Structure 1
Amino acid sequence: MKTTTLSLMLFAGTALAALPAQAAGSLNLICSADVVICEQMTGDFQKETGIKVNMVRLSSGETYAKIRAEARNPKTDIWWAGTGDPHLQAASDGLTLEYKSPMLDQLQDWAKKQAEGSGYRTVGVYAGALGWGYNTEIFQKKGLKEPKCWADLLDASLKGEIQMANPNSSGTAYTALASLVQIMGEDQAFDYLKKLNGNIAQYTKSGSAPVKAAARGEAGLGIVFMHDAVAQTAEGFPIKSIAPCEGTGYEIGSMSIIRGAKNLDNAKAWYDWALKPEVQSRMKDAKSFQLPSNKSAEVPKEAPKFEDIKLIDYDFATFGDAEKRKALLERWDREVGASAN
């Protein structure tokens, strides 16, 4: 009898020891980067920690809308990547949680400022400049001139050749809208966007979709973050990246823990892990060529460098404000979206 009881106890102990992943629990993650890097990050984290990650890929605007709608009963624990403006809006709305990672001291100043400006409710994980990528073969075949400036995109020869995302769903497109307002002034920027609308073939839901369409030959040019254009070049497509001559805005891709997260400890584990230099150095393996936020992370040789680009002094506080975003998007819907092709 004693032997049987002892055997059962030993068996139970062995069985429990064999289930570290189950004991580690799970994590509900929204990823707002390209699906390839989302899957790589998720797989690496699961392998390293044993925590099961339930990952959903949504663009930044869609994520902001989702966590706002679910504020009373959050279904998400952590939001990784995507443009910083919606993360800042979520922070100002009290939708995300204050957290000071022990990794903060290792980060670039722009990543720390993102954290400080949000009351430590978000943090910068990467950065990238806005521009466009165009298909050199299509342009050569059609005799189109390389557009080097924002003004060049209004050329009548580009009618039906340009794709960009819808700023309601895409953080990339909202960054473009906010950048143009800062470069030109609001009224002039909307005059520009109304003229540009005549050359737009499609407003996509995802920010990187326009340059992927250009890579496939479905469009001539996509207005995107430059690292998304570089990723298509790295895949072997005839895509050339351009930083506009008048200047351009940039993103600080960010990360936030959702207030009311059901798996808070696991969310903090992801947060700290995602800021490690070795994790950020691996992003290039998924053809993700942003500038990493950890000072010790390896900068991909393909990454567009800020020092080579005419950057504006992007006002993250103003354009990360929920009321400002709402006003700009309502005006875009009224003056541009309503007459979209």
Structure 2
Amino acid sequence: MRNIPIALAGGVATLAAGAAGAQELNLICSADVVVCERLVTEFEASHDIAVNMVRLSSGETYAKIRAEARNPQTDLWWGGTGDPHLQAAADGLTAEYQSPMLEELQDWAVRQAEISDYRTVGVYSGALGWGYNTEIFEEKGLTPPQCWADLLNPELAGEIQIADPNSSGTAYTALATLVQIMGEDEAFEYLRALDANVSQYTKSGSAPVKAAARGETGLGIVFMHDAVAQAEEGFPIEVVAPCEGTGYEIGSMSLIEGAQNPDEAEVFYDWVLGADVQSIMPEAGSFQIPSNVNATPPEAAPDLSEITLIDYDFAQYGSTERRTELLARWDDEVGGVGVE
């Protein structure tokens, strides 16, 4: 991996040992903590920049960045669903940046940058679905659900976990997906019915399938790659793509407006979009589709061409007005306190 030049006042310097002043980067990572830690380790091994990393869910990160808008404590936000990244862009909380790496990215990743006026960019993609514990289902004689409608089966009472959409980008994607598939009123009718089968609304989007893997619940509604990760670790998890169709995420990355370390943030931004970096992600249990066209996709990643994907409206459902409206209605009609 290479040191990337960064623009400094008075000229250009490389990130080499001995540069004047300690260089650091304040990073929020909204992916699985193992992936976050792997990225930090790889970056610090090839750059003279110390990374202060915090792992927060997408919703938590958006709230933190918004609360600190007048005095940003974060330089860069990597990962998590694209909707809150788009909301942050619309609110002016993130900075415009056109990376020289854009020409190497998938069309969907570039489109994410374009609709945000280059205030965010796609870093990976993955479809929504669920994973269920085959041993629990067999032991209890439960019918494995293949469609969204199947999740309302009364025999699944207390067997389902999903995250709280206020804190989790995964759960917000599920909410927006159902609205787009069914219509808003019908989707909320569905969610109220589903609530009877939900044992817990978690804070983290991947927590439900991890609970299913541990045998603490029967099924977790998550991004399919999170379910694949549990299956690849040897847990009895079967991965399902809903028969009616499903939404998907464009995991995104954003520079924070007014960041304390903008140059270091741009270095990380360009580095993490590289094919070599994205190709090592499966080693950390990441099974999303990478955004760099030259990166090697994980062999176990769900094949998006074999999944019925809806025409997800990222611009509308990533807007501040629409997100606020849907989350307020979810609070009023469904509820749930996010706990890990």
Number of the residue aligned with 2:214: 216
Q: Number of residue pairs matched? A: 325
Q: Which runs of 5+ in 1 are unaligned?
A: 1-17
- Inter-partner Cα distance in structure 2 for 1:338 and 1:134: 21
Asked if structure 2 preserves the Cα contact closer than 8 Å seen for 1:21 and 1:52, the reply is no
User: Aligned runs of 1:72-111 on 2, under 5 Å?
Assistant: 72-111=70-109
Number of the residue aligned with 2:144: 146
Number of the residue aligned with 1:68: 66
Aligned-pair RMSD on alpha carbons?
1.6
Q: Deviations over 1:106-152 (max 9, x none)?
A: 00000000000000000000000000000000000000011000000
- Inter-partner Cα distance in structure 1 for 2:197 and 2:315: 31
Q: Which runs of 5+ in 2 are unaligned?
A: 1-15
- Inter-partner Cα distance in structure 1 for 2:20 and 2:39: 20
Asked if structure 2 preserves the Cα contact closer than 8 Å seen for 1:133 and 1:242, the reply is yes
One-letter amino acid matched to 2:32: D
One-letter amino acid matched to 1:168: N
1:164 is paired with a residue whose SS is strand
Given the alignment, which residue of 330, 333, 338 partners 1:332? 330
Q: Deviations over 1:129-181 (max 9, x none)?
A: 00000000000000001100000000000000000000000000000000000
One-letter amino acid matched to 2:244: E
Q: Deviations over 1:47-92 (max 9, x none)?
A: 1102000000000000000000000000000000000000000000
- Inter-partner Cα distance in structure 2 for 1:243 and 1:65: 30
1:48 aligns with 2:35: no
Q: Following TM superposition, by how much is the alpha carbon of 1:305 offset from its aligned partner in structure 2, in angstroms?
A: 1.4
Number of the residue aligned with 1:271: 269
Q: Following TM superposition, by how much is the alpha carbon of 1:208 offset from its aligned partner in structure 2, in angstroms?
A: 0.1
**Structure 1 240/50 Cα, relative in aligned 2: closer, same or farther at 3 Å?**
same
1:205 aligns with 2:198: no
One-letter amino acid matched to 2:179: V
- Inter-partner Cα distance in structure 2 for 1:71 and 1:324: 21
Given the alignment, which residue of 115, 123, 135 partners 1:117? 115
One-letter amino acid matched to 1:224: V
1:59 aligns with 2:52: no
Number of the residue aligned with 1:247: 245
2:28 is paired with a residue whose SS is strand
- Inter-partner Cα distance in structure 2 for 1:241 and 1:257: 34
User: Aligned runs of 1:123-162 on 2, under 5 Å?
Assistant: 123-162=121-160
Given the alignment, which residue of 302, 305, 310 partners 1:304? 302
- Inter-partner Cα distance in structure 1 for 2:59 and 2:97: 22
2:280 is paired with a residue whose SS is helix
Given the alignment, which residue of 172, 180, 205 partners 2:170? 172
Q: Percent identity?
A: 70
One-letter amino acid matched to 1:233: A
2:270 is paired with a residue whose SS is helix
- Inter-partner Cα distance in structure 2 for 1:43 and 1:301: 23
The structure with the largest alpha-carbon Rg is 1
One-letter amino acid matched to 2:315: A
- Inter-partner Cα distance in structure 2 for 1:300 and 1:338: 34
- Inter-partner Cα distance in structure 1 for 2:33 and 2:48: 21
Q: Deviations over 1:240-287 (max 9, x none)?
A: 100000000000000000000110100000000010000000100001
Q: Following TM superposition, by how much is the alpha carbon of 1:20 offset from its aligned partner in structure 2, in angstroms?
A: 3.8
Query: TM-score, with normalisation over the residues of structure 2?
Result: 0.93
Asked if structure 1 preserves the Cα contact closer than 8 Å seen for 2:201 and 2:336, the reply is no
2:100 is paired with a residue whose SS is coil
- Inter-partner Cα distance in structure 1 for 2:336 and 2:278: 40
**Structure 1 137/330 Cα, relative in aligned 2: closer, same or farther at 3 Å?**
same
- Inter-partner Cα distance in structure 2 for 1:141 and 1:199: 18
Q: Following TM superposition, by how much is the alpha carbon of 1:21 offset from its aligned partner in structure 2, in angstroms?
A: 7.7
2:114 is paired with a residue whose SS is helix
